[in-house]
Amino acid sequence: MTFGARLVAAVADRGPFCVGIDPHASLLHAWGYDDDVAGLERFALGAVEAVAPHCSVIKPQSAFYERFGSRGVAVLERVIEAGRAAGALVLLDIKRGDIGSTSQAYADAYLDPASPLACDAVTVSPYLGFGSLQPFVDTAEKFDAGLFVLAATSNKEGPEVQEAVTGGRTVSATVLDHLRRLNADAVPLGSFGAVVGATLEDDRGLDLAFNGPILAPGYGEQGGTTADLRRIFGAGVRNVLATSSRGVLRLGPDPAALAGAVRRSNDELRELLG
């Protein structure tokens, strides 16, 4: 099955909520753990054990593991393995973007099933030109994996690049045009998604009907609501994967509290989708 087909099936079964497994130092301390590799391991694996059986997707942010060096990356490998074993898809938040053989090496590291870091999908940056992502696209197609490409992010610095106009189109619109071509004729949904913030002040005039999934960070703790999802995405909301990290993880380390937060979020999002 393609990633798009696996995602549709997972969302139908578990709901459209994605949990970020992001071991901020402040969260480790809040859980009563030290900000070291042992604390990282207890936090990350405890979080996955509590939430992964109840959500369609988990999204570890690689940087919070990489800061501990090779031992932190080893924990990330275990997080990926545990998430998949619990039936969740794993979307690794890496936001890589490079050219040529380096881009291919990144794609091999994260999308080739032979790699210990292989995931179902990754986030990537198109700002060296969308064509620079071709090794990621080719590798994703080869191994039925997925990509989520940065398109319209909600950080205040984003618009200076994303709303710049080239060839009569904004950069964000151009990114979505490329995704629309990649996803053409895919059934039930394409495997090439966009990252569009759940806290945007408006939809930036973008046509978000590109037959692919939309990762919407900022839902929950960062202020994004179901009303915002409806306002920003309109009819495209059916393809939105809303994601939150701290809004769930701050309730730990109690597994029941973490699982309950996931179930409530899924219920709220299902109501939005009807």
Structural domains of the chain in order of their starting residue, each with its CATH number: 3-273 (3.20.20.70)
Distance from C-alpha of 216 to C-alpha of 159, rounded to nearest angstrom = 17
SS3 state at 36 = coil
Compare 201 and 47 and report the one with higher pLDDT.
Answer: 47
Three-state helix/strand/coil letters over 202-270? CCCCCCCCCCCCEEEECECCCCECHHHHHHHHHHHHHHEEEEECHHHHCCCCCHHHHHHHHHHHHHHHH
Identify the burial level of 22 via C-beta atoms within 10 angstroms of its C-beta, where 0-12 means exposed, 13-18 middle and 19 or more buried. buried
Tokens 């999934």 -> residue: 213
For every residue of 3-35, DSSP letters joined together read HHHHHHHHHHHH-SEEEEE---HHHHHHTT--S
Structure tokens at 121: 């999908």
Render pLDDT for 215-268 as a digit per residue (tens, 0 to 9). Answer: 999 998 778 899 999 999 998 899 999 999 999 999 999 999 999 999 999 999
Distance from C-alpha of 199 to C-alpha of 114, rounded to nearest angstrom = 37
In sequence order, the 6+-apart residues with CB closer than 8 A to the CB of 131 are: none
Residue 95 annotated among the catalytic residues of the structure = yes
68: Cα separation from own chain's centroid: 22
Instruction: Identify the active-site residue in 59, 95, 142, 156.
Output: 95
pLDDT of residue 267: 96
Render pLDDT for 82-94 as a digit per residue (tens, 0 to 9). Answer: 999 999 999 999 9
